[in-house]
Structure 1
Amino acid sequence: MTTAKLASLMARGAEFLGCDTAILCGAMSWVSERHLVSAMSNAGGFGVIACGAMTPALLDAEIAATKALTDRPFGVNLITMHPQLFELIEICAKHDVGHVVLAGGLPPKGSIEAIKAPREGKAGAKLICFAPALALAKKLARSGVDALVIEGMEAGGHIGPVATSVLAQEILPEMAQLLPVFVAGGIGRGEAIAAYLEMGAAGVQLGTRFACASESIAHPAFKKAFFRASARDAVASVQIDPRLPVIPVRALRNAGTEAFTAKQREVANLLDGGVVDMGEAQLQIEHYWAGALRKAVIDGDVEGGSLMAGQSVGMVTKEEPVAAIIAELMEQAAAALERRAV
């Protein structure tokens, strides 16, 4: 039975996450909050709170509110450059969060140990990290990371330079036997999920498909922009000054895209004048994105805000419940496996 084949291919990832279906919802700032996260976990997938620039107090409240809406496992995504990272890790431990996802670069010294440290007789959290290259994947595995997400440039938000299909071919044969590897970036249908599972992935991560779910608090105007968009509308930002450590961001093209170019020039001038150092310059860029994203997601400013979206946005055509999206993806994946078995 093909459904059994799909369940078998997903078993390792589902067991690792503690859920029914090895599909993570990518952590999207302002979008991946209590409502979408709990809906994702309640539907059998795995929701992930996007901490982003939250203070420890805000994260504390968000985790508590999510736990009030679901008794299923969910994770928390933390950004490595957050100035209060270790305090955020403590908040996760306080709530017995089972999985922490670290994004934004190599884990700083001591963070892996802090996340995985046992607490009051309970095991510490499992740690998931992003690996944009094979060498980094190997380094993270040696460091004690429990699972990896390999995310290609087709994804929305902050992206690396390599396509998902290339990363999968490069990393899965080398790493999939060592630890669970989840594939992300440009996945919009179940056929792609089936292909990556057959290549050795433990599961997948999708963000763009869930951003416009019924349970997402994103503004109706934000969702409407997604429904109208095609793959080619989701473009990567351009780095205008090689000194600025700007990670490209993929979003729907609008006036906000142009505003980011101007913001980079402004920060570069501050660097030239010695007003800020490189660390502060990077933080200013990150705060810009957080503010621009809030404008679009919460306020519905789809021209001046940032419409972060992956290239799979063309496959987002209507608002529907998370459970329906997961069911459709699983049906498509099962059908693809069945066709290959004939």
Structure 2
Amino acid sequence: MARGAAFLGSEHAILCGAMSWVSERNLVAAISNAGGFGVIACGAMTPDLLDKEIAATKTLTAKPFGVNLITMHPALFDLIAVCASHGVGHVVLAGGIPPKGSVEAIKEFGAKVLVFAPTLALARKLLRSGADALVIEGSEAGGHIGPVSTSVLAQEFLPALAEDHLVFVAGGIGRGDMVAAYLEMGAAGVQLGTRFACASESIAHADFKKAFFRANARDAVASVQVDPRLPVIPVRALKNKGTEEFTAKQREVAQLLDDGKVEMGEAQLRIEHYWAGALRRAVIDGDVENGSLMAGQSVGMVTSEEPVATIIEGLLAESEQALSRR
């Protein structure tokens, strides 16, 4: 983990996954203050909102933290400029292949770039193109997911890349034993989201957290793609009325495509805006019936509200014990 920690500038190479509405100033600062590495979820924020969020986070922690930007955001380069103005040290590009010039724009102001890659070939290409580190995230994760499990990705990517590159593993990690296993395989660190979503410092609504405490792994299901022309990235969330409403939303957007009322890019943005709104209803308003309860399959290991520091200490202790047994 030392390589990952040195790269991040944190005590431990434990990243917090960028969860829209959840990974904001309070949780991000708490994770960084506890020795981990907090990451602001920019999501659908405007440049002005991101500017305020970074500034507010800086008032709560003097430790390093990063910013996660969605590659399809229409104001991506303006958001990068905001990160530059604050001297953000690490930017995570998520949600697709980084558009031309984005990696260069981030590196120009001295920040490190972390990217996601679903295939080994693409990972190599992104690393050759200037990305400083890679996050491999399996289908067990919450929110937007790929089709392959974390364990398979780790077996494919780590032997091929870990010796020469920094690779962080994410998706379905709920205990320190699993952290230890991926470190032994060569990972530079790990990323967790679901375990932190219900931390004491998380601003998520009490009812949102209670839904997590009641859930088990099989309650966290992936969304279904309705129309093959609408390349919707699957989203893993706790099954409720909101997951059914998403199916109806896809049909609605597909009809707009049929009628020539929207272009493909606009159609995808409408889907993303749906998720942002549905997630807000659950996280902020506590509407656990109609909102989106994005959660990974490790949700069954989230049984109570704990401070971030306690979660990180527990993960490290379990990891130490697992390595000692070996």
Residues of 2 paired with 1:211 and 1:81: CA distance?
24
Secondary structure in 2 matching 1:149 = strand
Deviation at 1:178, TM superposition (A): 2.1
Secondary structure in 2 matching 1:307 = coil
1:134-283 equivalences in 2 (<5 Å): 134-283=120-269
Bigger shift: 170-179 or 325-334?
170-179
1:54-65 equivalences in 2 (<5 Å): 54-65=45-56
1:18-71, CA deviations, whole angstroms, 9 ceiling, x for partnerless residues? 000100000000000000000000000000000000000000000000000000
Residues of 2 paired with 1:136 and 1:221: CA distance?
40
Residues of 2 paired with 1:265 and 1:178: CA distance?
45
2:92 to 101, 104, 110: 101
Deviation at 1:243, TM superposition (A): 0.3
Corresponding position of 1:326: 312
Instruction: Report the residue type matching 1:58 in the other structure.
Output: L
Residues of 2 paired with 1:133 and 1:333: CA distance?
28
Residues of 1 paired with 2:100 and 2:305: CA distance?
42
Instruction: Report the residue type matching 2:3 in the other structure.
Output: R
1:66 to 54, 57, 62: 57
Corresponding position of 2:102: 111
What TM-score, normalized by structure 2, do the two folds share? 1.00
Corresponding position of 1:6: none
Q: Percent identity at matched positions? A: 80
User: RMSD over aligned Cα, in angstroms?
Assistant: 0.4
Deviation at 1:177, TM superposition (A): 1.7
Secondary structure in 1 matching 2:186 = coil
Secondary structure in 2 matching 1:129 = strand
Structure 1 segments of 4+ aligned residues over 3 angstroms from their partners: none
Instruction: Report the residue type matching 1:26 in the other structure.
Output: G
1:26-37 equivalences in 2 (<5 Å): 26-37=17-28
2:80 to 68, 78, 89: 89
Corresponding position of 2:287: 301
Residues of 1 paired with 2:242 and 2:178: CA distance?
31
Residues of 1 paired with 2:208 and 2:86: CA distance?
32
Q: Across the two proteins, how many residue pairs are aligned to each other?
A: 326
Residues of 2 paired with 1:132 and 1:89: CA distance?
23
Instruction: Report the residue type matching 1:88 in the other structure.
Output: L
Corresponding position of 1:121: none
Residues of 1 paired with 2:119 and 2:214: CA distance?
33
What TM-score, normalized by structure 1, do the two folds share? 0.95
Secondary structure in 2 matching 1:308 = coil
**Structure 1 residue 39 and structure 2 residue 30: aligned?**
yes
